[in-house]
């Protein structure tokens, strides 16, 4: 079973399912399918067995690195026949333990599937295999906004069948929208090997405003029309004295026009007292530096101690209530109770840290956080998915009928249950 990661202390509630164990013959078969890309070296495997937060650890003895859809198909056909469990793995940057094995699942990594297959003009989008890291590698070759829209995937089903629906059409209403089924399926319904992505042209002018405010609710008013992220302003001298910070990015095609609009907006919020300090950047190095403050919060928290992570969708006006409430409930047992996230989306990243893992802190947080979220008709996972850590709490956000339908779809598409077992859906009684 899993060992070493702090999370494994809670146990996984049930044992390894009766899948086969990788044999010498399996290794030989895989060597024929992906020659030279069959990895059994424990040192290399370590990076794929442990998630980047270092909280979940599997014990897989085999990592496969296919380059093509055909290779993925052959691997899955073999695993399906042999009843071998498979853990599809992309960048292994997940937050919920979905991307690493739980026991000895075969790790199927898409890391080498990193070529842009084709690129059409602005009206279409590039077709990227899934190894194009999320999708910054694709971005390096294509000048686009980071917020591309995935269109159609090509995926390989549990038994190795390839379903190629790749298309760059903007509209297509023929039959069930199968691609929606794969969004949020976390490798439990198939392995996505390519997607086509619609890319809006890169904006010519980007401005970032970094503003301090006395009150979260005031920020809510400011950003009701903007996509933004709320920052962890706590105590950092670098960030000045405001209790709350907000990062706002605007993009457009005419720098002069955009700057004028942003300045009008800033003048308004400064004179109304909503904002107490701030800075604006248009120079791309400064823009990058400001974004780094926001993007590295998660990493900073990992260094603070043991982290209890929640990723909640809540009504924007109640977004911060849980943070202040939990500070009182947890008292000195918590090192930090931090709320940040994506304010424009009503998405709170609630992170609590303690010196070491503490059952008493966990007991105060759960099920309280989930029950409170359900009362607000929120979601217990706004963007991180369910993976291994949150599979048990799906019921707080979806009715039993929806859960049953999900189980039925899983059984239909993966009757042997070999794809990413122990993930996403709650364990069946």
Chain residue whose CB lies nearest ligand 2HG: 298
Nearer to ligand 2HG, 159 or 304 (CB): 304
- DSSP readout, 48-85? HHB-TTS--B---S-EE---SHHHHHHHHHHHHHHT--
Nearer to ligand 2HG, 74 or 349 (CB): 349
Q: Is 73 in the site for ligand 2HG (CB under 6 A)?
A: no
Q: How far is the CB of 48 from ligand 2HG (least distance, A)?
A: 21
User: Which of 65, 74, 80, 349 is the binder for ligand 2HG (CB under 6 A)?
Assistant: 349
Q: Is 351 in the site for ligand 2HG (CB under 6 A)?
A: yes
Question: In the structure encoding, which two tokens stand for residue 420, read together?
Answer: 């990413």
Q: Would you call 190 exposed, middle or buried from its count of C-beta atoms within 10 A (0-12, 13-18, 19+)?
A: buried
Q: How far is the CB of 332 from ligand 2HG (least distance, A)?
A: 22
Question: What is the DSSP-derived secondary structure letter of residue 232?
Answer: -
For 112, 186, 189, 379, the CA distances from 398, given in Å and listed in that order, are 36, 17, 19, 9
Q: How far is the CB of 248 from ligand 2HG (least distance, A)?
A: 15
Q: How far is the CB of 237 from ligand 2HG (least distance, A)?
A: 21
Q: Is 57 in the site for ligand 2HG (CB under 6 A)?
A: no
Nearer to ligand 2HG, 349 or 423 (CB): 349
Q: How far is the CB of 351 from ligand 2HG (least distance, A)?
A: 5
Buried b (16+ CB within 10 A) or exposed e, 213-242: beebebbbebbeeeebbbbbbeeeeebeeb
Tell me how many residues contact ligand 2HG (CB under 6 A).
7
Q: How far is the CB of 353 from ligand 2HG (least distance, A)?
A: 11
Pattern 156-195, ligand 2HG, x by CB under 6 A: ----------------------------------------
- E-assigned strand segments in 30-189: 38-39, 63-64, 86-89, 106-109, 118-119, 126-129, 149-156, 162-164
Q: Is 234 in the site for ligand 2HG (CB under 6 A)?
A: no
Cβ–Cβ under 8 Å, residues 382 and 184 = no
Cβ–Cβ under 8 Å, residues 157 and 190 = yes
Cβ–Cβ under 8 Å, residues 8 and 54 = no
For the CA atoms of 10, 14, 17, 21, the dihedral, rounded to the nearest 10 degrees, stands at: 40
**Cα separation of 319 and 339, whole Å?**
9
Cis amide prior to 428 (ω within 30 degrees) = no
Pattern 78-107, ligand 2HG, x by CB under 6 A: -----------------x------------
Nearer to ligand 2HG, 2 or 94 (CB): 94
User: Which of 65, 74, 80, 309 is the binder for ligand 2HG (CB under 6 A)?
Assistant: 309
Q: How far is the CB of 297 from ligand 2HG (least distance, A)?
A: 6
Dihedrals phi, psi of 280, to nearest 5 degrees: -125, 140
Q: Is 298 in the site for ligand 2HG (CB under 6 A)?
A: yes
Q: How far is the CB of 302 from ligand 2HG (least distance, A)?
A: 8
Site for ligand 2HG in 311-330 (CB under 6 A): 311
Interacting residue ranges for ligand 2HG, rule: CB under 6 A: 95, 297-298, 309, 311, 349, 351
């Amino acid at each position: 079973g899993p060992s070493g990661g702090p999370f494994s202390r809670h146990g996984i509630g049930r044992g390894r399912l009766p899948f086969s164990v990788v044999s010498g013959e399996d290794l030989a078969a895989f060597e024929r399918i992906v020659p030279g890309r069959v990895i059994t070296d424990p040192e290399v495997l370590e990076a794929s067995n442990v998630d980047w937060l270092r909280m979940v650890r599997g014990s897989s003895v085999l990592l496969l690195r296919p380059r093509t859809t055909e290779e993925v198909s052959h691997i899955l056909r073999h695993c399906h026949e042999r009843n071998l469990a498979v853990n599809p793995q992309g960048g292994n940057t997940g937050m919920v333990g979905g991307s690493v094995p739980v026991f000895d699942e075969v790790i199927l990594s898409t890391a080498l599937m990193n070529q842009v297959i084709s690129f059409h003009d602005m009206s279409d989008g590039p077709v990227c295999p899934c190894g194009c890291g999320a999708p910054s590698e694709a971005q390096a070759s294509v000048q686009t906004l980071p917020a591309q829209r995935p269109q159609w995937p090509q995926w390989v089903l549990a038994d190795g069948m390839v379903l190629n629906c790749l298309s760059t059409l903007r509209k297509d209403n023929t039959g069930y929208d199968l691609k929606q089924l794969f969004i949020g399926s976390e490798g439990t319904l198939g392995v996505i090997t390519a997607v086509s992505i619609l890319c809006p042209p890169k904006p010519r002018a980007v401005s970032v405003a970094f503003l301090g405010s006395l009150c979260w609710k005031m920020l809510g008013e400011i950003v009701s029309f903007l996509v933004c992220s709320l920052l962890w302003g706590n105590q950092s001298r670098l960030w000045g004295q405001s209790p709350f910070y907000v990062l706002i990015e605007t993009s457009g095609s005419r720098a002069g026009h955009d700057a004028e609009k942003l300045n009008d907006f800033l003048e308004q919020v400064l004179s109304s007292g909503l904002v107490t300090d701030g800075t604006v950047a248009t120079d791309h190095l400064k823009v990058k530096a400001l974004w780094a403050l926001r993007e590295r919060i998660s990493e900073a928290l990992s260094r603070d101690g043991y982290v209890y992570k929640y990723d909640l969708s809540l009504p924007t006006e109640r977004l911060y209530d849980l943070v202040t409430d939990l500070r009182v409930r947890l008292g000195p047992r918590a090192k930090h109770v931090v709320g940040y996230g994506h304010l424009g989306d009503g998405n709170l990243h609630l992170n609590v840290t303690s010196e070491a893992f503490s059952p008493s802190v966990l007991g105060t947080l759960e099920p309280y956080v989930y029950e409170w979220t359900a009362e607000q008709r929120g979601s217990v996972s706004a963007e991180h998915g369910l993976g291994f850590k949150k599979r048990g709490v799906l019921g707080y956000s979806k009715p039993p009928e929806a859960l049953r339908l999900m189980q039925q779809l899983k059984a239909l598409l993966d009757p042997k249950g070999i794809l990413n077992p122990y993930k996403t859906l709650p364990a069946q009684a």
